[in-house]
């Protein structure tokens, strides 16, 4: 009986403390900003080039969601354990991108929605 319960308990703990079901964590924009200010992170904009040129979060790197594959991701994020904060315009593409990156084996993926509701600085 104990041998069956331990794996269930461990799985439940991982579910509540680790990544979400899709392999990444959803965080608030306030938490994303705090992480940007206090630790080394890669901020990843997954919109299109024209959207990025119109304004983006300072220091953000562009990798459009439609171009994400093993090679393009590795060119921008060489280490699979890099802490990556992913955003787009409204939050839809960032979820797809975060899931794709997690599927490629990246372990430090955090999705924080879209720039439309970003209350902090934006550069053009």
Chain segment 6-17, per-residue pLDDT in tens = 344 344 434 443
Q: What does DSSP assign to residue 56?
A: B
Radius of gyration, CA atoms only, the chain: 16
Angle at 56 between CA 80 and CA 63, to 5 degrees: 35
At 22, is the pLDDT very low, low, confident or very high (cuts 50, 70, 90)? confident
Evaluated on CA atoms 84, 30, 118, 35, the torsion sign reads: negative
Give every strand in the sheet of 83-88, ordered side by side: 25-26, 108-114, 83-88, 42-45, 61-62
Distance CA 8, CA 20 (A): 17
What are the structure tokens assigned to 62, written together? Answer: 């562009």
pLDDT of residue 1: 45
At 53, is the pLDDT very low, low, confident or very high (cuts 50, 70, 90)? very high
Chain segment 84-114, per-residue pLDDT in tens = 999 999 999 999 999 999 999 999 999 999 9
Give yes or no for residue 67 having a pLDDT over 80.
Answer: yes
CB 93 within 8 A of CB 52: no
Distance CA 20, CA 14 (A): 9
Q: Tokens 């879209």 map to which residue? A: 114
Whether 88 is a known active-site residue: answer yes
Exactly one of 88, 100, 102, 109 is catalytic; name it.
Answer: 88
The pTM (predicted TM-score) of the whole model is 0.83
């Amino acid at each position: 009986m104990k041998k069956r319960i331990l794996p269930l308990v461990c799985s439940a703990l991982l579910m509540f403390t680790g990544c979400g079901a899709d392999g990444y964590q959803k965080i608030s924009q306030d938490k994303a900003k705090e992480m940007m200010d206090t630790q080394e992170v890669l901020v990843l904009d997954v919109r299109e080039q024209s959207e990025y040129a119109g304004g983006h979060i300072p220091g953000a790197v562009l990798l459009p969601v439609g171009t994400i594959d093993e090679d393009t991701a590795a060119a921008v994020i060489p280490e699979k354990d890099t802490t990556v904060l992913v955003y787009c315009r409204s939050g839809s593409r960032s979820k797809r991108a975060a899931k794709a990156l997690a599927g490629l084996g990246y372990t430090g993926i955090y999705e924080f929605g879209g720039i439309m509701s970003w209350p902090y600085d934006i550069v053009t």
